[in-house]
Structure 1
Amino acid sequence: MRVTLRLRALVAVPGTGPVTLDVPAGRTAALVAPPRVGTAVARVLAGLAAPVAGRIVVGDRDVTDLPPPRRQIGYVPAGGALLPQLTVRRNISYGQRKRERVREMADDWAATVIDRLELAPTLALLPHLLSDAQRFRVALARAAACLPEVLVVDLPTGMAAGGRLGDLVPRLSPPDAPGVAVLVCTADPATLAEIPTRATLVTEAAAR
């Protein structure tokens, strides 16, 4: 099933303009925003905070008021937000515990993602022993292991992406699937250079 992420006049935080944007399955789009604002938008999409106004639609489901586990939106926080006391392997499997949809196929799919993102040599390591790029890949793997329909990536300026996003994103879906809809919240010039589809979030300060 091909699922499109639709933002409809979404206002994530006070003082910012509304965002209307469609991101089809298998495509990547960027929301251009200052770091703190981009993080706020990503958290709203993931269900960790409520929006000021507007709606979030995944496929034919309005998920605006749903809790995070029911949204089918994977979230990669700024810096990865890995649990420091857990190994890479346990960080990747952590999110699957609350996702009934993936329980039967979780182990096989997680192993596939680990292989595709070249993380096998790091599985027994703790996060502080990883490079920034490796931590980002682990966070990607953790989100992808839950088989989300949408992936939201909070990528601040200068944050290592562990490689070109255009190379990494196709590895995050099964080969027979249409792919996830990916929204990257960033103002990083290097990242934006490879994402032609984008929307710019206007703040009150910028509008003056």
Structure 2
Amino acid sequence: MSIRFDSVTVAYDGNVVLDALDLTVAPGEVMALLGPSGSGKTTALRAVAGFVRPASGRVLLGERDVTDLPPHRRGIGMVVQQYALFPHLRVEDNVAFGLKARKTPKAEIRRRVAEALEMTGMAAYARRHPRELSGGQQQRVAIARALAIRPAVLLLDEPLSALDARLRSGMLAELARLHRELPEVSILYVTHDQMEALTLADRIAVMDKARLQACGTPQELYRAPANAFTASFVGNANLLPVTVTARGAVLGDAELTLDTAGAAAGARATLCVRPHLVGLGEGPNRLTGTVREIQWRGATHRLYVDVAGHTVRADLPELREAPAHGERITVHFAPEDAVLLAAGVSGDEH
């Protein structure tokens, strides 16, 4: 079932927290809403769930306008970051809760609970209480409860934020597996973690300051971001202020060859190039600067190089002899690996 935001605006006491959102999640698609705190992503999710009422616009599930429907009549499964399990109920009763509320026959409840627990790998824990489970196991129970009602739409609100890095990685794999097993379920996934979005989503909607900034596949947003904010939030990026020339751009005294289609000579712009696409030594689009910091990251070294007063980061395969702090070095990048954006934020801090 599709999810459609038709110019949805939400405001609290006159403060707009979601501004005229137009967005469609296709049937069976995983759409990630990605953005910093306060960007409007959770508000958008709550508008679909029915927990907030838009000041204007419509929310549609399939062809049905659900804007004025209460949450329990929308047929949606939802998982939140706090899990919201009932501590006094056993796992099987937590999973059965939504089915009982819908007055599902007892035999059907037993069957669906067993099916949902099996699907999430929690069948062996049916008789336990939430306090007897780890955080990752509690999250699986919350997901099983959402799946037991067989929703056409599944809403996930920062579902992994309370887990440590190892558990988060494992749950990402489990969510990907569940989606493969339930390809007809549309999923709207709210996160501030770009790796979760890149790993799970068919498309990513990037939110900031209550507005949609960009929407596309992870590959599209990573390789050809629409603006500086998207470039900085979807993957790491060097974002450097340049002046456009007839053949490319100028950064300090370096003349760079770039695709400048649509940009006027003399205009200010932002050069976007990913750190792993910056090489050490001679090559096209050379930049010379001073090493300010070196970080060893196991398989790679990250160099921070001061070029014309701006920091250029280079992620390089582990170097046998890394440059010294304060050393003058040359880095380079291929013209096809850079994107020229409208003038925006500097990438020095990212």
Place the TM-score, normalised by the shorter chain, in its bin.
0.7 to 0.9
One of 75, 87, 104 as aligned partner of 2:90: 87
Partners of 1:169 and 1:119 lie apart in 2 by: 17
- Note the residue ranges of structure 2 that are not aligned, 5 or more in a row: 212-228, 230-344, 346-350
**Distance verdict in 2 for CA 1:95–1:16, change over 3 Å:** same
> Counterpart in 2 of 1:16?
18
**Distance verdict in 2 for CA 1:83–1:41, change over 3 Å:** farther
Partners of 1:124 and 1:35 lie apart in 2 by: 37
One of 36, 39, 43 as aligned partner of 1:40: 43
> Counterpart in 1 of 2:208?
202
Based on CA coordinates, which of the two structures has the bigger radius of gyration?
2
Partners of 1:158 and 1:64 lie apart in 2 by: 29
The C-alpha deviation readout for 1:175-207, integer Å capped at 9, x for no partner, is xxx61110001111221121240112221699x
* CA-based RMSD: 2.6
Matched, 1:167 2:161: no
Partners of 1:128 and 1:41 lie apart in 2 by: 31
Q: Which deviates more, 91-100 or 159-168?
A: 159-168
One of 187, 193, 204 as aligned partner of 1:182: 187
One of 143, 146, 150 as aligned partner of 1:147: 150
Q: What is the aligned-residue identity percentage?
A: 31
Partners of 1:186 and 1:108 lie apart in 2 by: 32
> Counterpart in 2 of 1:7?
5
Partners of 1:85 and 1:40 lie apart in 2 by: 30
**Distance verdict in 2 for CA 1:179–1:126, change over 3 Å:** same
Matched, 1:134 2:137: yes
Matched, 1:58 2:56: no
**Distance verdict in 2 for CA 1:184–1:138, change over 3 Å:** same
Give the TM-score taking structure 1 as reference length. 0.83
The C-alpha deviation readout for 1:87-135, integer Å capped at 9, x for no partner, is 11111001112225x5474332221111111101221222122222211
Give the TM-score taking structure 2 as reference length. 0.52
- Secondary structure of 2:17's aligned partner: coil
Matched, 1:28 2:26: no
Q: Which has the higher contact order (CA 8 A, sep 6+)?
A: 1
- Note the residue ranges of structure 1 that are not aligned, 5 or more in a row: none
Query: 1 or 2, which has the higher strand percentage?
Result: 2
Say whether the 8 Å CA contact 1:56–1:62 is kept in structure 2. yes
- Secondary structure of 1:50's aligned partner: coil
Count of aligned pairs between the two proteins: 200
Q: Which deviates more, 187-196 or 154-163?
A: 154-163
**Distance verdict in 2 for CA 1:187–1:107, change over 3 Å:** same
**Distance verdict in 2 for CA 1:97–1:125, change over 3 Å:** same
> Counterpart in 1 of 2:304?
none
Partners of 1:78 and 1:35 lie apart in 2 by: 14
- Secondary structure of 1:18's aligned partner: strand
Partners of 1:53 and 1:132 lie apart in 2 by: 38
Query: 1 or 2, which has the higher helix percentage?
Result: 1
Report how far residue 46 of structure 1 moved.
1.2
